[in-house]
Copies of this chain bind each other. A is one copy, B any other.
Amino acid sequence: MKKVKVGILGATGMVGQRFIELLENHPWFEVSALAASERSAGKCYREAIAGRWKLESSIPSAIGALEVTECVPELDCTLVFSALDASIAEPVEQAFAKAGYVVSSNSRNHRMEKDVPLLIPEVNGDHLAIVTEQKKRRQWKGFIVTNPNCSTIGLVLALAPLHKKFTLKKIMVTTFQALSGAGYPGVASMDIIDNVIPYIGGEEMKMETEPQKILGRLKNNQFVMADIAISASCNRVGVSNGHLESVSIELEKKPSLDELMDALREFNPLAGLNLPSAPSQPIVLREENDRPQPRYDRNEGNGMACVAGRIRECPILDWKMSVLSHNTIRGAAGAAILNAEYMKVKGLVG
């Protein structure tokens, strides 16, 4: 099979680096273009990134030699992954979509647009249908698909089977978010050593709105938000990768603990599609009383699974649990890649 040529917008940032790492040896996609700011343009990637490659893996050698260009829609590829900063993502992504590129974006700018899917393939793959409307309405040759915020995605993935079977009414969530979520340089070390920061700008609003769209329905080309009350408290902790979340939920139907756990374990809507980045099990349930933990569980399913544990009764809502997912893999670059894979099997790419 000939691989689909893909480009990366914002290739030098933290999420851009993850795209490069995760796309190395990808069976369907081949990175043929890297775009970043004017400052990097014209340099080879290795030179542009000098000293700022912040992953434990090495820069793939073919990528290191690739020339970085500006973010203009003249890249030699069919699809672009966008890791652009929110301050500039909007016009750039629109320009690419207009010019005919498929844009799989991790940026927040278009997530809540009424004609843009906010996609988790395991959860709301059917929302993808809205892109027809998007192209028509905007008169674009391409289109934009987005993935949720890094703290939303693990939460919604873990709760989706419960919503499907038992209908979520309320979600209270307190997060323990990793440092990599703030990009690079991001959080100053003097701010987090021996400390916790009980605030992440804009994060709570994202967590309180995005799940309603993802868990909602697409009806007559319109998104009907799920009727779920959500309260989020977002905190930064001194962990490199992996967002841990302490969650309480109320359900309309009242399952037993066994029914709840079975729903989580049996959830695997992508089974059979053989998407290269899909984990064999999207939700891994741990039964020890002290799991999930970021350091030990973040790489479950190559960072694409979410790990749930400590399911127990909640004296106020119905159930409490802890949920973990890797914030720059399942919560960012890996999510956008899975979206692209899903679009490919649905015939929307390549």
Contacts and interface: CB of A to CB of B under 8 A. Distances in A.
Interface of A: 14, 51, 54, 56, 170, 172, 174, 176, 179-180, 184-199, 208, 229-231, 233, 235, 237-240, 244, 246, 248, 288-296, 299, 309-310, 314-317, 320, 322
Contact of A56 (B199, B239, B299): B299
A56 B303 CA distance: 12
A61 to B, nearest CB: 14
A237 B240 contact: no
A196 B231 contact: no
Contact of A185 (B188, B208, B240, B317): B188
A14 B238 CA distance: 21
Contacts of A193: 179, 189, 194, 238-240, 295
Assembly stoichiometry (copies) = 4
Contacts of A293: 195-198
Given A176-B235, A188-B189, 7 more contacts: A14-B190, A174-B246, A185-B185, A194-B238, A194-B294, A195-B294, A199-B289
Contacts of A231: 248, 314-317, 320
B194 A190 contact: no
Given A231-B248, A231-B317, A315-B229, A190 B185 contact: yes
Closest 8 CB pairs of A and B: A185-B188, A174-B174, A199-B290, A195-B295, A198-B322, A233-B246, A174-B246, A231-B316
Contacts of A187: 188-190
A248 B180 CA distance: 27
A66 to B, nearest CB: 20
A130 to B, nearest CB: 26
Nearest to A192: B189
Contacts of A244: 196, 198, 235
A313 to B, nearest CB: 9
B235 A194 contact: no
B295 A237 contact: no
Nearest to A299: B56
Contact of A196 (B191, B229, B237): B237
Contacts of A229: 315-316
A292 B56 CA distance: 12
Contacts of A195: 239, 293-296
